Amino acid sequence: MTPRWQVLIPSGLATLFLVWAVWASIDLAVFKIRAALASEQTSIFAQMRAEAITGDVTRAAECLEYTVHYYPSGTKQIPGSTLDRIVERARAEAAAAIIDHLRRVTGLDLGDEPQPWIEQVEYLYRSARENRSEEAPAAGP
């Protein structure tokens, strides 16, 4: 008969290895999901940047607002993680490019923060639309 420890030690090691393998597999699966989410997020920022530059000023402001508020840090990624930093860097770069575009086409300089641009462009173009609708002749017989 074999001593009990000759059976227990290999069984214990096999159990530990199995637990580690399951944990590593789950960790890898979660990372792949987070990486796919990060890829999707950065693609959205690139799309918003392209739409802002090819659209009118109002569309650029809409794209800026969408970029700034689209799943903020900590919603799809772990805050401060490598993937979160990659996503937030792409967000900041897209927002800066859109702001640079707005600065060029409007002649305004409202700084580098997105919110003043979003609010000002919305206010200016809403006012302009309201003025145009007031000046338009009423359709009649």
Task: Give the model's pLDDT for residue 2.
Answer: 64
Task: Give the model's pLDDT for residue 99.
Answer: 96
Mean pLDDT of all residues belonging to the chain: 86
Q: Which distant-in-sequence residues (6+ apart) come within 8 Å of 48 by Cβ? A: 63, 64, 66, 67, 70, 94, 98
| Residue range 54-105, pLDDT digits in tens | 988 889 999 999 999 999 888 888 899 999 999 999 999 999 999 999 999 9
The answer to whether the CB of 45 falls within 8 A of the CB of 89 is no
How far out from the chain centre does Cα 48 lie?
A: 10
The answer to whether the CB of 52 falls within 8 A of the CB of 101 is yes
Task: Give the model's pLDDT for residue 130.
Answer: 64
* Domain extents in the chain: 26-131
| Residue range 101-124, pLDDT digits in tens | 999 998 989 999 999 998 887 777
| Residue range 29-50, pLDDT digits in tens | 999 999 999 999 999 999 999 9
